[in-house]
Amino acid sequence: MRNSEIARLFEELADLMEIQGANAFRLRAYRNASRTIENLTESISELAEQGSTALVELPGIGKELAQKIVTIFETGQLPQLEKLREEVPPGVVMMLRIPGVGPKKVAALFHELGVTTLDDLRAACEKGDVAELKGFGKKTAQSILEGLDQVEQSAQRVYLADAMPVVEEIVGDLEKLDSVVQVSVAGSFRRRKETIGDLDVLVTSTNSAEAMDALAAHELVEKVLARGETKQRVRLTPTFDSGVKLEMDLRVVPDESYGAAMQYFTGSKEHNIVVRKRALSMGLSVNEYCVSRDGEYVAGRTEEDVYAALGLPWIPPEIRENRGEFDLAERGELPELVELSDIRGDLHMHTTATDGTASIREMAEAAKARGLKYIAITDHSKRVTMANGLDAKRLRAHWKAIDKVRSEVSGIEILCGIECDILEDATMDLPDDVLAEADWVIAVLHYGLKQPREQINKRLLTAIQNPYVSVIGHMSGRLIGKRPGADISYPDIFKAAADHGVMLEINAHRSRLDLDDVHAAAAKDLGIPIVISTDAHSTNGFAEMQYGIFQARRAGLTKADVANTRTFKQFSKLLRKK
């Protein structure tokens, strides 16, 4: 079991205990343990093999928690969690995914109204029972109804980032088989969509039965759902958020069809419709087996062959969404998409000064070890009280601490930054005389995301017009599948950003990826520099950068479009004059 899976078990345990009314101290212990395990650089399984003695050396892990971890690895389950799962129906747990509905509200819905499913909850809202509950009201009931629509849409999907290590392990093990010649993942996974619903793996093999047997016996496969001569469907073992278990199709295809199958099963549907129409206009037919003319094979061994038969260059999977990629291909202007290796700096991260788990020095050293040449330390401003946000006095002391570290750590530039809230009344969380002292200011919306568009726009324009704001971070404030973003007039805000020289962020955290691909592409068209940042809260958080890169590639961004691909000297020229 991976660190993330164990962390998720303890987070689930804390949620179920809170629904059942457990005391705050115990809940905090389990949530802290979850964060500790999630942020570990070493494998928790290796520590568990050494017994509880090695585990208690971890911060926040006492003897009781250490023994629970050992029990999970020895038995594959945690009796306390299994008992709570029996007492709290899965539908009740699903309610935690509704924006603005935490364990306390779920407990009230469960214990006082007897609501056990999302359908029950919808009915209770529509009937008026939820509005009458203490602490709820009509506004909350309406908000729950709106949130239910979002939860139901995303209930069977998981973050690309969560699925990736599982998929890569399975594919890597299939590649080791002597009989397997080629193996790749297609579908939305290959297009690097933010979330995925299922998986398509394509294989060419000299022995299809061996490939299927290997998949069926894989430790990450729970059950074989169907099996034929060339196709097998399985359910995977890992349980993701909301109880989702991904299903995977393995298709064994002939060598001469591999490229055609890859093109067909990668999609998107919209892209493939255009491909088929183009083929028909040329007297060709294209499907998952080949490109043909009058029933005669023309191409299909590679994707390059398939596109070449249609008079096109190969199109990167990330931009196969029928958003102009065919026009670019015909003109020979397909972008050379940005790569992870192009990134030289990370400009959004947190330390123990607020809600991070590592010190300034630890973050700097970890960034340097990853090959970064510059970073910005950007802890929260005071509005984010739950993260111990910084007021002016604490922030200035924090910057002095950053100054000290950057004088002692060579080989990397460290900027004194701040993630400053744009308040609900359209003012900044810190005064201008403080912001003027910063090297890098990220302005963000954390609260009041449901305000009317007019007020949201006013708040964003306030930040953009502020002479000390460098970039707008995670502009919409969305959390994928959990919280919708603010209602923003993007054309107006983008024009203002372009006019005032303010950069825009793609926040690489798997649950944000904000700006999304469509809006990042629109910003590119206006020449607005994009910054891809991790929002790292631990040294492990730097690994999130690849998901921001995926989002940037889906937006069609090149190295030149991304500000933090520049050298520090080049990047410094983009910083606004104070």
Give the model's confidence band at 95: pLDDT under 50 very low, under 70 low, under 90 confident, else very high: confident
Q: Residues with Cβ < 8 Å from 235, sequence gap 6 or more?
A: 221, 222, 223, 225, 245, 246, 247, 248
* pLDDT tops 80 at residue 4: no
8 Å CB contact between 324 and 345: no
Instruction: Write out the residue limits of the CATH 3.20.20.140 domain(s) in the chain.
Output: 340-574
Q: Is 78's pLDDT higher than 50?
A: yes
Q: What is the CATH number of domain 3-154?
A: 1.10.150.110
Range 64-69 contact pairs with CB under 8 angstroms and sequence separation of 24 or more: 65/10, 65/29, 65/30, 65/33, 69/6, 69/37, 69/44
Lowest-pLDDT choice from 308-312, 382-386, 404-408: 382-386
Q: Is the pLDDT of residue 118 over 50?
A: yes
Q: Stretch 200-205: mean pLDDT, rounded?
A: 96
Does the model's pTM come out above 0.85?
Answer: no
Kindly report the number of other CB atoms within 10 A of residue 104's CB atom: 12
User: Stretch 340-348: mean pLDDT, rounded?
Assistant: 98
Angle in degrees, CA 84, 85, 90, rounded to 5 = 135
DSSP code per residue over 32-79: HHHHHHHT-SS-HHHHHHT-HHHHTTSTT--HHHHHHHHHHHHHSS-H
Residue type, 361: R
128 token code pair? 């008026």
Domain spanning 340-574 has what CATH number? Answer: 3.20.20.140
Residue range(s) in the chain whose domain bears CATH number 1.10.150.110: 3-154
Model pLDDT for residues 259-312, shown as the tens digit of each residue = 999 999 999 999 999 999 999 999 999 999 999 999 999 999 999 999 999 999
Q: What is the pLDDT of residue 317?
A: 98
pLDDT of residue 154: 55
Residue range(s) of every CATH 3.30.460.10 domain in the chain:
158-330
Q: Tokens standing for 156?
A: 């069977």
**pLDDT for residue 130 is more than 70:** yes
pLDDT in tens, 151-178: 765 557 889 999 999 999 999 999 999 9
- Percent of the chain at pLDDT > 90 equals 70
Of 3.100.10.10, 3.40.50.10090, 3.30.460.10, 3.30.230.10, the CATH number of 158-330 is: 3.30.460.10
pLDDT at residue 554 in the model = 97
Backbone phi, psi, residue 369, to 5°: -65, -25
CB neighbours of 519 closer than 8 A, spacing ≥ 6? 475, 490
| pLDDT per position as a tens digit, 374-383 | 999 999 999 9
pLDDT at 576: 61
CA distance 364 to 369: 9
Residue 329 confidence class, pLDDT cut points 50, 70, 90 = very high
Pair of tokens at residue 493: 């805000």
Of 42-56, 397-411, 412-426, 530-544, the least confident: 42-56
So what's the pLDDT on residue 255?
Answer: 96
Amino acid type, 505: E
Contact between 322 and 315 (Cβ < 8 Å): no
Q: What is the spatial distance between Cα 529 and Cα 531, in angstroms, rounded to a whole number?
A: 7
> With 70 as the cut, is the pLDDT of residue 37 above it?
yes
Higher pLDDT, 14 or 392: 392
pLDDT grade for 190, boundaries at 50, 70 and 90: very high
The confidence band for 578, taking pLDDT boundaries of 50, 70 and 90, is very low
Given a cut of 90, whether residue 458 has pLDDT beyond it is: yes
Per-residue pLDDT at 509 exceeds 50: yes
pLDDT of 40 strictly over 70: yes
Q: Cβ distance 233 to 251 under 8 Å?
A: no
- Lowest average pLDDT, out of 98-112, 223-237, 416-430, 553-567, goes to 98-112
In this prediction, residue 577 has a pLDDT band, given cuts at 50, 70 and 90, of very low
